[in-house]
Structure 1
Amino acid sequence: MIKYRLEITKGEPIRYISHLDFASLMQRAICRAHLPAAYSEGFNPHMKISFASALSVGVTSDAEYMDLELKKDICQPELFDKLSKALPPGVRLLKARQIDMRAKALMSIVDEASYSIVLPCQDDLNTVTEAINKFNQTKEIVVVRETPKKRKEIEIKQYLPKAMQYNLEDNTLNISLNIKITSTGTTKPNEILDVLKNEYKLNISVENALVCRTGLYHQGKALIDID
């Protein structure tokens, strides 16, 4: 048995597929690549793959992470070449490295994500600066998260480890932010954008925002570098 950690992308062509569909896509690619994937035992065996953190529908990613168990040894260059050729448009394999079979699950170690957001904005720089400075300086912001079954209040500033960064050029607002991922919850980029629009009165087009997750981390280190 051998385990690999993969760094992969989720690009524009597949930004609207769900996390479950993305996982199925990766399983089919592994099968097409004829990699000796390990499977669980029992009545309904499944491929032994695991992901770090589910990506919201409509969000792209420059760095998603997946652990893959193989039932026999295969060298890194062979795995990299075979899987790269089997991946569909929208997915690229960036890195692959062997990790200890006893390594902790990705989902249990990921504690932060970074995002890049690009969206239309009709305000001038002074207005944007004033609104985002107020947002950054506010200690507590509560949003309401609604699902078909329940309504829940979320305090989002607890999940923002540092100030939001931004620049405005040609009516396009570029935002960079980091979001904590905890065992008790997290917030989402769109919730933050809704606050900027509705509470801080920025004239932004949230529905046209291009959100990209640029990294996933454990204690400041990219997950590809964690054993």
Structure 2
Amino acid sequence: MPEVVSYTYRAELTKDAQLRFISHLDYAALVERAICRAKLPVVYSEGFNPHMKLSFASALALGVTSESEYMEFILSKDLCQPEVFDKLSSQLPDGVRLKALKKIEGKHKALMALADEARYRISFSTANPLSEWETAVSEFNNAESCFFQRKTPKKTRDIEIKQYMIGQLEIEANDGLIELSASVKITQQGSVKPAEILEYLRKSSGSEYDISNVEIRRTALLCGGRNLMDVM
């Protein structure tokens, strides 16, 4: 049989506030339906249950928004990038914005294998003074290790947070809110969630925050410090 020719496209998308409480699978389904509506010649897997050849770099936790989500999909035709961008962008639902798109030439790593760093901004309101949170952040940054108890429906285990941190945790006040900025490693063994960092600070300092007014946004997903649109 002749070799099937296919073309891989990589896209950078947002996940905005109105979609923060939909799961990663539901988010992927929204994007998949948009690709179908755009009438792009997308390639499907073979077998009894064919599915669209669509992959994402890193699943986003429920309740977290993002400025930079990355996906790859495969087309059976070599379409120019502006055409694919315009067709897909016009069909994406509210809360998803297409920021960039490019065709990937030649051999390249799987998208999921590229991301090794995520950056987050955590905003929240609190009745405690900023100085208490600044002290907690300073102690966190100076500590050699910080353990957090991660609970799942199946088990509870201790996570050492500092092994996943890149650089210092930063803190500032902005419009009556406290904002934390964190860069964390993404490894084959796992990572730490930004909500876990915030909860560790709460427990270690005795401070409280308004859980209904916490906003977590992923501001970047990187490979070796570079945007995933720029690496293969």
Measured in 1, the distance between the counterparts of 2:73 and 2:106 equals: 10
Q: Secondary structure at the match of 1:199?
A: helix
* 3-state secondary structure, aligned to 2:49: coil
Q: Distance in 2 between matches of 1:148 and 1:126?
A: 36
1:119 aligns with 2:124: yes
Partner of residue 185, structure 2? 180
Query: Which residue identity lines up with residue 215 of structure 2 in the other structure?
Result: L
Q: Which 4+ stretches in 1 moved above 6 angstroms?
A: none
Q: 1:72 corresponds to which residue?
A: 77
Aligned length: 227
TM-score, normalised by the number of residues in structure 2:
0.94
- TM-score normalized with structure 1 length: 0.96
The alignment status of 1:87 with 2:103, answered yes or no, reads no
CA deviations over 1:137-185 (Å, ceiling 9, x no partner): 1110111111111111111110001101111245410111111110011
The letter for the 2-side match of 1:79 is V
Instruction: Call closer, same or farther: CA 1:139–1:98 in 2, change over 3 Å.
Output: same
Aligned counterpart in structure 1 of residue 200 of structure 2, from 191, 195, 198 = 195
Find the counterpart in structure 2 of residue 16 from structure 1: 21
RMSD: 1.2
What SS class does the counterpart of residue 141 from structure 2 fall into?
Answer: helix
**Gaps spanning 5+ residues in structure 1: where?**
none
Q: Which residue in 2 is equivalent to 1:141?
A: 146
Residue 183 and residue 169 in structure 1: after superposition, are their counterparts in 2 closer, same or farther (change >3 A)?
same
Give ranges in structure 2 of 5+ residues lacking alignment: 1-5
Residue identity opposite 1:154 in structure 2: I
Of the three residues 207, 220, 223, the one matched with 2:225 is 220
Retained in 2: the 8 A contact 1:190–1:206?
A: no
Percent pairwise identity: 47
1:49-101: CA deviation from partner (whole Å, max 9, x where unpaired): 10011001110000000011101111101001010110000000000011135
**Structure 2 counterpart of 1:54, one-letter code:** A
Per-residue CA distance 1:13-38 (angstroms, 9 max, x = gap)? 11111011111111100000000101
Which position in structure 2 is the counterpart of 1:210?
A: 215
Within 2, Cα distance between the matches of 1:202 and 1:36?
Answer: 53
**1:107 lines up with 2:107 in the alignment:** no
Q: What is residue 96 of structure 1 aligned with on the other side?
A: 101
1:130 maps to a residue whose letter is T
